[in-house]
Structure 1
Amino acid sequence: MSEHDCDLLVVGAGILGLAHAWAGAKRGLKVKVFERSHTPLGASIRNFGQALVGGQAPGVMLDLARQANGLWKTLGQAAGLHLHQQGSLLFARTEAEEALLEAFVNGRGAELGYRTDLLRGDALEALYDGRFAHHRAALLGLDDQQLYSREALPQIVDYLARTLGVEFHFSTLVRDVETHRAVTSAGRFTARHIVVCSGHDYQTLLAEPLAALRPQVCGLQMLRVRPRQPLALRHALLTGLSCVHYGAFADLPEADAIRAQIRSQQPELEAHGIHLLISPTPYGDLIIGDSHVYGSDISPFNAEQVDRILIDLAQDTLGGEVDVLERWQGVYGARGPGPFSVVEAADGVTAVVMHTGLGMSVGLALGERTVTALLGEAGPIVPRHSTAA
């Protein structure tokens, strides 16, 4: 190695930072990771832990999600993660939602090779002993995975440190970065490459180049619940409401009927950006959400009305009542020039910023591609700003 303290210095220990650390360490680089909190506490921990392929928009995000799918299987096995690999279920509750799923399967899904099955009749009845038979249909996303992120990320940290020799500096603020140098609350460090993955913090580091992206922050209301009728759920769950949010479906003509239905029957869903997601934990509890509010900063106050809507949607989907165990506010970076940006902020300093809540779905692949480009290896090159199709 050269005179530097390390080959790769990563700022941030969320999934994006850990993805870059893993990509570097696998290649034999000496890697240091700096995280301002005592453990990962940002978007990767607060959100659903869903690594979805089936919902991704055609183009770069679908390509990244497919690559990340295989990487999750490798990392999951190596780090001993509790990784649900049974797929996802997207339930059609109305005729309009069923029509969209059928159009997707027969059109874009078949053309672009999305691995999905549309379950109806006996196949739907067979799911979880008929628990979801009150729906019209279910789209099974065969490549979708899900993990319990509040446990999985610390496990990944432990694996990277113990097995690959990555050096972690928690409770350490990085105050400034410039060419080959980082100034931290634990001293100064030098590196051949510095990658900043600081989530929705756009002001502590690289404020000027990040401001040019005009990013925002998204806040979402989250709950952990326990079904009163036990349910050993092994799939991530969504409903047809997600079809107007996720890029695989949202631009299809059939999505317009769902939007019209929402606006006429439940306008509060559009007003609060609500569509239901449900993720199982290893302990029989379920994580539910989500809503969306955007701005340069997010108010810390949750609205009980939004939680009540989410609970009602969850109970309708699950066919039974739930008890709330925890409530919290999710958060992620949002609304930049594309779904993500990769910015060369200075010689040897790269910022990688997600502008969607899909870091768990694509982050491992984005880390691979960014490190590949930094080292000049053959492989897909990440553009300065992504351009989603």
Structure 2
Amino acid sequence: MSSLENISSEAVTCLAFVDSYTKKSDPSALIPTLWLGTSLGSVLTVSITLPEPETRNTSPVLVSILGGPIFRLKGSILCMSFLDCNGALIPYSYEPWKDEGKQRDKTPTKSSTNRMSPTLNQDTSFGDRQFMVITSEKQCRIVALPSQNCVYRLQITETDFVVRAEIVSMKESVCLVCYVSNGHLMAFSLPSLRLLLDVDFLPLADLRISKTFCFSNRGHGLYLATPTEIQKFTLCSEFSQNYNDMLGDLYLQCEMPEPPKESFFKGLFGGGAKSIDREELFGECASGKPNRSVAKLISGPNANLQDLNSRANSASNEFSRAHQMMIERGDKLNKLEDNAERMANEAQQFSGAAHQLMAKYRDKKWYQL
């Protein structure tokens, strides 16, 4: 810590385990170290002394901080990676632990002491053998080890800040890829820090993007676009050109082989129930001649249901027509009844008038008319 005031505000933001050259007094000493990056831009080195595998149960792991902050950058430390003297990326080292008392299968395994080490030159000079890439929210530095000299430095942004930074392998080389808060994607060569790419990609409008944005090797990356959708992107032009050829289908179409022809005796003796076509056995097809019979309609499983529906519809139509005819017949009968009643009234009136006329002229003589 630089002062007691920063104890409550400074926190570890980045870790890197690697076999590195940290001692200037002994440039050839390659020791396991833990590099710490803090939120105030400080970089500290922790030396780890591992006991022998035979004495791990009794001997402790010795951890010691090599002095105070070795480097200090502007902004919080985002990532730290290491390159060998040829510029190749050194993977983070680890040593798998095995419980010797536990019984395991007798299968050949790799030795636990085989650790990835940086590529060294064949010369015997004790010069700088590693490059350390330190990236913060504002700056990037390339530091040579074990001399701890800053060989390259870069001010990535002035007013904005870097949201995510990663050292990735792409096209047989390594580069530094950054996503800046102004929405730009930037790529720099390593270790020279030359600008390779600067494109306006995605505005930082949501906190979810900053928490899920990440890069991977070969120029790929992804982020959580929505709470249920993942968006993938790439910086590699070769991948973009071949993207259509890489698209796959959920189901692969393949031609099914023709089923083997079953013999007639298989169906008779243990072949299971099978409907035998009479035309197939005794028709003209069996004799090698073309079939001259008329094509027949084979009803499907829903044919009976469709036939029943059609019959029900026709019966309903006939019932409706009979009901309508019955209503019309009732109307005609009512009209006929009214006409008969009217004619009966008129006949009665005519009969009364004729009776009155007969009564008037019944007693009179012919000369009195």
- Normalised by the size of structure 1, how large is the TM-score? 0.18
- Normalised by the size of structure 2, how large is the TM-score? 0.19
Q: Rg bigger for which structure?
A: 2
